[in-house]
Structure 1
Amino acid sequence: MEPNRIFIPLLLTLILGACSKQKERANTSYAHIEQRIDSVAKDFIDGGKVKGLSIAVLSNGKTIYNKGFGFMDSSEVKPVTNQSVFLMASISKLIGSVVVMKLVEEGRLKLDQTLYELLPDFPNEKQAKKISLRSMLSHTSGLQDYASEIDTLFIKTGIAPSKEDFYNFFRERDLLFEPGEDYSYCNSGFLLMSMIIERITGNSYQSEIDRVVNLPAGLNLKLIAETVDNPNTSTYFELTNAGLEPRPHWTWIKGDGGLTTTSLDLAHFPSKWNSGSIISHESVKEMIKPTILNDGVETGYGLGVRSGIFAGLKMIGHTGGNKSLLSKMVYFPEKDITIVVFVNTDNTSSNARSVFGEVALTILDEEVPDYSEDEIIGEHLKIYEGVYDYKGYKFDTNISIMLNPEDSHLYYCSSETECEKMYNLGNGEFWIEKWPLDKIVFDITDTGVVRALREYYIGYYVMLRKKKG
């Protein structure tokens, strides 16, 4: 017998044996991941502060985890399953921005067009001539957030607001700041975005979501107005002193937070979006790029996209919530891993952000970090001292950064009595032991002037606070 005829079967046996062992190790690894995430999810449900939640994890396009926990209804007869539909909330902003970028590619919109050009009937002409589409998608328009008033009115009356109601709100409100001068998370720009899309295309907002996103990507992202009567759509709850109470869905919401889907369907979105199959790679890069303000200060928000770092990995995507976080979608492009978490309960500390943190540590095989022994000692810290301000309807408050001469540490103070020690990690980056998965990063000029700080919560950029004085 020829030597090759002996060698080839032997080689095949070795390869198949190695593949079998590799597959066995992978299955064991996934089983371990499944058990750990199951335990995390059950702990949140057993705590009695979340009625139901859904988690999906994709790696290289393959589902490695997808489960539901708890219930979709008050009577607890409808368990959360993989087919359960949840409100995406503000993750909808990213999807709407994708539609805008498609219209830009088609030559039907320009990011630097003004609100005056795009919505000629906007009630404040002076403001409209200064506000660009780009500034609305990056939360730098200076518009006040309609939710501060319109949402409260809707809760009291149960009457859905009309376009005229929104226009009356904008007619009577000054800008928080001149466009491009600051960052303030604002639903108003994305409310107007959906109006712009409908006016420019002559189509409904949902039909443009279908055309640009759903059909090319094979997804099923639908406005809550279309899914509210779907038996698979979860009820929305709020944690109160009386317990978990059901709340009605707000079926009038569109661009700023009205989309719904399953956790697995949403988990398939980022890789398809990032691959260029929905919009071009150039458009994706434009969306992801952090916005630079007029004074050169960088935010951590692009065009409908949050960005950040978790366990040393770049992350992009978005979050959604109301009083607390209801949804979180994170894509790690370097590893092609997506994690989606939905919860159906508001006003609770046991929210989607907390669930994500524990799931992500499991998936990435990381531990809760402790940087207390990694801090840089001896650096001049006095430049960071001062009062830092955030403008916005939810967090319109100041915080103070103070240097304690006794222990040579900076402290993050939300009041005179509530201060947390900060650990210096270098390059203007600091860690606080109380919030181990969060970071604070200062914006510093080449000449050593501190202009602002950015706060990152469990990876994602959340807010910019500019230094006063």
Structure 2
Amino acid sequence: MKYYFFFLIILSLNLTAQNFENSIKKTEKLVEKFQDKNKIPGIAVSISYKDKLIYSKGFGVSNLETKEPIDPSKTKFRIASMTKSLTALTIGKLMEMDSIDINKSVYSYLKKLPKKKYDFTVKDVGGHLAGIIRVPSGERYDCKNTYSQADFYNSFENDDLLFEPKKQLSYSNYGYKLLGLIIEQQCGDNITNCHRKLILNKLNLDNITPDSKNNESLNNNFYIEEKGQNVLAPCLDCTFKHAQGCYISTSEDIIKLANGIIYKDRLLKEETIKELIKTQETLDGKKTGYGFGFSSRRDFYGNYYFGHNGGYQGTTTEYRIYPKESLVITVLTNKSGDFRLDDLLNEIGFQFIEQIK
């Protein structure tokens, strides 16, 4: 009997994929064209509809020398700032535990934080509205970096705000370091353990793990372009960067995380998710297109989505959740350069949404 039900599950998945056969064919052409144009060694694309994985494929290789093919269920990519969604979800869980109120001042949680000219809330920081500069003075991303968590309070005291909070949006990894410190204090553990026990373990996401310059779990090389040729990206230092980035994942585990977000009570309550994904506004009432750890906007064709992109040396990534259509798209690459994934995601989304309508 159990084999009969297993057969029915497989048949159901196949029928779902067959329903999108045209969209899948067009998606593969779009990805192949994009990969060729930008000379990207490896890409993983995974797509789910109504909580079912309907398409998942690797394009190219994880290693230009060994020609190891991309496997979307096994090949881990650096996901860069997509990690900010993970940090936001962790704060969401702490909100539900009455441990964090995002509308309170950051000074409510970090009593020793040097005072600035202006006060700002946890929510301001999560929405990149606090006026905090992008990176701390003295921090580097290569392996010559010496900036660590121990330097945070001194650098925060010396680094000026860019503007009065909520005047404008200014993307800040620095701000997410600050959120990481609040999480550690309220969670009672280091940031990666808090991510793990409050969010990742809930969905058995074993392939979403912290990155480090000596990470033995990496099964993917990362590339940049120099003089028209792909070369290995420089060593990446992940010291004190795990609230903002420095995670790796397969594309399929990002799909699972995304579905954990849109299906209520799997991770967080529906009202908590709404609070995190709702676009914030500047003082003059302009919408920023960013909530708390999530972009929140409409694509080129007017379809609403939320998600996040990411990029630093050796990686360019993006995932999108189209909640109305119950559609999730994840694209991960092992190269950085003068290209973005927005247009590609717009077109992939369009192909599937037109079939869903």
Distance 1:70 1:289 in 2: 36
Q: CA separation of 1:121/1:25 partners in 2, compared to 1, >3 Å: closer, same or farther?
A: closer
Instruction: Return the offset for 1:53.
Output: 0.8
Distance 1:105 1:59 in 2: 28
1:86-137: per-residue Cα shift (whole Å, max 9, x none)?
1121111111011112112111111133232322333x3235x712211110
Of the three residues 332, 338, 347, the one matched with 1:358 is 347
Task: Report % sequence identity.
Answer: 22
1:397-445: per-residue Cα shift (whole Å, max 9, x none)?
xxxxxxxxxxxxxxxxxxxxxxxxxxxxxxxxxxxxxxxxxxxxxxxxx
Instruction: Return the offset for 1:231.
Output: 4.4
Asked whether 1:58 is paired with 2:48, we answer yes
Of the three residues 77, 96, 103, the one matched with 2:67 is 77
Distance 1:65 1:71 in 2: 18
1:136-190: per-residue Cα shift (whole Å, max 9, x none)?
1011101111167523xx43x6234212444443222221111222211111111
Pairing 1:47-196 to 2, within 5 Å after superposition: 47=37, 49-82=39-72, 83-122=74-113, 124-127=114-117, 130-146=119-135, 150-151=139-140, 154-155=141-142, 158-196=144-182
Q: Going by fraction, where is strand more abundant, 1 or 2?
A: 1
Of the three residues 207, 226, 238, the one matched with 2:224 is 238
Distance 1:85 1:222 in 2: 9
Contact 2:82 2:245 in 1 (8 A): yes
Contact 2:17 2:54 in 1 (8 A): no
Which amino acid counterpart does residue 255 of structure 2 have in structure 1? A
Instruction: Return the offset for 1:336.
Output: 0.3
Of the three residues 260, 273, 277, the one matched with 1:288 is 277
Contact 1:291 1:300 in 2 (8 A): yes
Contact 2:42 2:60 in 1 (8 A): yes
Instruction: Return the offset for 1:344.
Output: 1.1
Which amino acid counterpart does residue 179 of structure 1 have in structure 2? P
Contact 1:227 1:260 in 2 (8 A): no
Which amino acid counterpart does residue 108 of structure 1 have in structure 2? S
Distance 1:158 1:23 in 2: 48
Contact 2:77 2:315 in 1 (8 A): no
Q: CA separation of 1:325/1:294 partners in 2, compared to 1, >3 Å: closer, same or farther?
A: farther
Alignment-derived partner of residue 206 in structure 1: 192
2:31 is paired with a residue of what secondary structure?
helix
Distance 2:343 2:215 in 1: 27
Alignment-derived partner of residue 203 in structure 2: 217
2:68 is paired with a residue of what secondary structure?
coil
Q: CA separation of 1:169/1:238 partners in 2, compared to 1, >3 Å: closer, same or farther?
A: farther
Which amino acid counterpart does residue 102 of structure 1 have in structure 2? K
Instruction: Return the offset for 1:214.
Output: 1.6
Instruction: Return the offset for 1:27.
Output: 5.3
RMSD of the TM alignment (CA)? 2.6
Contact 1:57 1:64 in 2 (8 A): yes
Instruction: Return the offset for 1:205.
Output: 1.3
Contact 2:131 2:165 in 1 (8 A): yes
Alignment-derived partner of residue 369 in structure 1: none
Instruction: Return the offset for 1:359.
Output: 2.1
Please give the TM-score of this superposition, normalised by the length of structure 1: 0.66
Equivalenced residues, count: 338
Contact 1:114 1:131 in 2 (8 A): yes
Alignment-derived partner of residue 259 in structure 2: 271
Which one has more relative contact order, counting CA pairs under 8 Å at least 6 apart?
Answer: 2
Asked whether 1:339 is paired with 2:329, we answer yes
2:69 is paired with a residue of what secondary structure?
coil
Which amino acid counterpart does residue 258 of structure 2 have in structure 1? P
Which amino acid counterpart does residue 307 of structure 2 have in structure 1? G
Contact 2:82 2:308 in 1 (8 A): yes
Which amino acid counterpart does residue 200 of structure 1 have in structure 2? Q
Distance 2:286 2:164 in 1: 15
Alignment-derived partner of residue 409 in structure 1: none
Instruction: Return the offset for 1:321.
Output: 1.5
Q: CA separation of 1:226/1:211 partners in 2, compared to 1, >3 Å: closer, same or farther?
A: farther
2:330 is paired with a residue of what secondary structure?
strand
Distance 2:37 2:137 in 1: 31
Asked whether 1:38 is paired with 2:25, we answer no
Q: CA separation of 1:287/1:231 partners in 2, compared to 1, >3 Å: closer, same or farther?
A: closer
Instruction: Return the offset for 1:63.
Output: 1.1
Q: CA separation of 1:78/1:307 partners in 2, compared to 1, >3 Å: closer, same or farther?
A: same
Alignment-derived partner of residue 319 in structure 2: 329
Alignment-derived partner of residue 428 in structure 1: none
Q: Which has the larger radius of gyration?
A: 1
Gaps (5+ residues) in structure 1? 1-21, 367-469
